[in-house]
């Protein structure tokens, strides 16, 4: 590979445009929002940078801190559900026939071709009171002959925490499957065959051989799934009720309705700090394992 020192013009020509784009449209705006989190409102549409920590102290108020903890909990449940559902799917794609594997990967990536809003409204059509689930259950209830004595009562599925988690799993599942598949595809299958030949069952082989070797993909999938689920706004806003609001909805209200941009910026960077901690923990874990090896 050619060193950048021997071809500085080539590396500068290819590296400066994306670096300038990143600086202008990501780093500078993000820095302004970060500075804003240490300010306070001063008049109409004016923010005075005072270096105060009051916005972060307010973010730790029990009202907002409870919503943040609930957001963390729902994001964790979403990530766990994606891992439980995504691992068998990634394993099936890994051991599928070479001709079938591209089609299965295409099926995993197919939801990305549809707008998130359309997918969310499709879930609303499935979960609402007169949605497909309740209509199917009512039809089965009628076939059972119990409808005359006990009329069918539709299930309350929409505008609940269950609907929020289901929607987040539906949206983020591909983000878990793809890193898992990338890790499982590199496995030495002779180790699996040796484990089975030596008398270990399929479940024990999965837990003792496959899962530890796929751990880099598992960790990457957890981070890639947890971070978007924690900051999700559209799906919880459409599928959740008043008791299912997450921290992203609170941030949206601070910027749009309450016009309290410094506090909204502080809440936003609370999520950023959590993201940085997760990425730093993954980096530290990789270095620690590298030293042990």
Distance CA 284, CA 278 (A): 10
21 in any annotated domain:
no
**110: containing domain:** 65-292
103 in any annotated domain:
yes
Does residue 283 carry a pLDDT above 60? yes
For residue range 43-56, list pLDDT tens digits in order: 666 788 888 999 99
Does residue 122 carry a pLDDT above 80? yes
In this prediction the pTM is 0.85
Q: State the DSSP H helix or E strand holding residue 5, giving kind and residue range, or none if neither.
A: none
13 in any annotated domain:
no
Number of domains in the chain: 1
CATH code (residue 166): 1.10.3720.10
| Mean pLDDT (whole number) for 266-275 | 89
59 in any annotated domain:
no
What integer pLDDT is reported at residue 274 of this predicted model? 84
What integer pLDDT is reported at residue 137 of this predicted model? 87
Buried b (16+ CB within 10 A) or exposed e, 122-158: ebeebbbeebebbeeebeebeeeeeeeeeeeeeeebb
Distance CA 76, CA 83 (A): 10
Q: How confident is the model at residue 240 (pLDDT cuts 50, 70, 90)?
A: confident
| Mean pLDDT (whole number) for 90-102 | 91
195 in any annotated domain:
yes
Answer whether 90's CB lies under 8 Å from 181's CB. Answer: yes
25 in any annotated domain:
no
199 in any annotated domain:
yes
For residue range 161-187, list pLDDT tens digits in order: 999 999 999 999 999 999 999 999 888
32 in any annotated domain:
no
Does residue 197 carry a pLDDT above 60? yes
Map 134-188 to HEC letters. Answer: HHHHHHHHHHCCCCCCCCCCCCCCCCCHHHHHHHHHHHHHHHHHHHHHHHHCCCC
Q: How confident is the model at residue 202 (pLDDT cuts 50, 70, 90)?
A: confident
For residue range 63-89, list pLDDT tens digits in order: 899 999 999 999 999 999 999 999 999
What mean pLDDT value characterizes the chain? Answer: 87
């Amino acid at each position: 590979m050619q060193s950048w020192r021997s071809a500085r013009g080539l590396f500068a020509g290819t590296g400066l445009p994306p670096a300038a784009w990143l600086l202008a449209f990501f780093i500078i705006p993000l820095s302004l929002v970060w500075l804003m989190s240490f300010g306070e409102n001063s008049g109409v549409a004016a923010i005075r940078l005072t270096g105060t920590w009051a916005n972060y102290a307010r973010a730790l108020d029990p009202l907002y801190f409870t919503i943040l903890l609930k957001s963390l909990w729902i994001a964790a449940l979403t990530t766990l559900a994606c891992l439980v559902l995504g691992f068998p799917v990634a394993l099936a794609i890994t051991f599928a026939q070479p001709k079938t594997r591209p089609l299965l990967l295409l099926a995993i990536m197919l939801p990305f071709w549809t707008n998130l809003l359309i997918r969310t409204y499709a879930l609303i059509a499935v979960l609402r009171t007169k949605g497909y689930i309740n209509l199917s259950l009512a039809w089965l209830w009628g076939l059972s002959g119990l409808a005359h004595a006990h009329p069918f009562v539709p299930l309350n599925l929409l505008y609940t925490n269950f609907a929020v988690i289901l929607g987040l799993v539906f949206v983020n599942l591909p983000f878990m499957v793809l890193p898992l598949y990338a890790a499982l595809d590199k496995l030495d299958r002779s180790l699996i065959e040796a484990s089975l030949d030596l008398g270990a069952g399929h479940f024990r082989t999965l837990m003792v051989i496959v899962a530890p070797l796929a751990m880099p993909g598992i960790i990457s999938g957890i981070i890639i799934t947890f971070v978007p689920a924690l900051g999700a706004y559209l799906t919880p806003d459409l599928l959740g009720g008043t008791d299912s609001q997450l921290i992203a909805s609170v941030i949206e209200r601070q910027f749009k309705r309450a016009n309290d941009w410094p506090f909204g910026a502080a809440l936003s960077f609370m999520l950023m700090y959590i993201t940085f901690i997760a990425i730093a923990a993954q980096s530290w874990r990789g270095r620690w394992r590298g030293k042990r090896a």
